[in-house]
Amino acid sequence: MGDERISFRDVKTELLRRITSRVWAPGDLVPGEVELAAEFGVARATVNRAMRELTEEGLLERRRKAGTRVRPSPLRAARFEIPLVKAEIEATGADYGYRRLSRKAGPAPAWLRRALALPDGARVLRVTCLHLASGAPYQHEARWINLAALPAAEAEAFDAFGPNEWLIRAVPFSEVEISFLAVAAEGEVATALGCMPGAPVFAVERTTWWQGQAITHVRLSFAPGHRMTTRY
């Protein structure tokens, strides 16, 4: 299929054929992106998008450093939509507001180096900000950006818009890990959200990678009473 006009949809269709016809049986390890890109004569990003969609549809299982396998049985996945917080707030009919709280570049803390597999001496940019709905605290954002992956971030002030808006324009992602958790609001989070220290709040942690390189890690803490709903 070595034709430059091949799209990710063509690649996806062929990969789906191999899965459904048992060329790749349930549990089989499938070829990597580099190998498939060479086979189809396309960019690796084209294969990545095809495989990502098949993963989202529950047909493939992708794990970092362990490769991609055909799922033993298709997975029906719940989809959690996490849009730009500005759009999320405005969709409720509220006016969006933004306030940068802090910004500092420096060495990555040890826990972050472990989480993102960063080398000793890695530098990150830490930005904290508050998103408001009609003047009321809505979401506290604490974000770390890997400056080895995105050195241009160090020149951004992020005083007029949040780092997530900039990241969406600056770089795609090939892998994302999301955790949902209940935490006790402490320190700057409690102050920013206007709640008592120790109050329970809903939080989302998200880490993104591009072709194996960590891009950013963020914790989003929501004001008390926040609800996330999904349908599948």
Q: Which CATH class is domain 8-70?
A: mainly alpha
The DSSP letter of residue 34 is: H
- Residue located via tokens 């939080």: 203
How far apart CA 26 and CA 89 sit, in angstroms, is 42
- 85-222: CATH number: 3.40.1410.10
- pLDDT tens digit string along 27-79? 899 999 999 999 999 999 999 999 999 988 888 998 877 889 998 876 555 55
Residue 177 token pair: 């890990």
Report domain extents, the chain.
Answer: 8-70, 85-222
Segment 180-206, tens digit of pLDDT: 999 999 999 999 999 999 999 999 999
| pLDDT tens, position by position, 114-138 | 999 999 999 999 999 999 999 999 9
Q: Which amino acid is at 189?
A: V
Residue at 64: amino acid letter: R
- Token readout for 220 is 């989003």
- Domains 8-70 and 85-222 are alike in CATH topology: no
Q: Is the pTM of this model over 0.75?
A: no
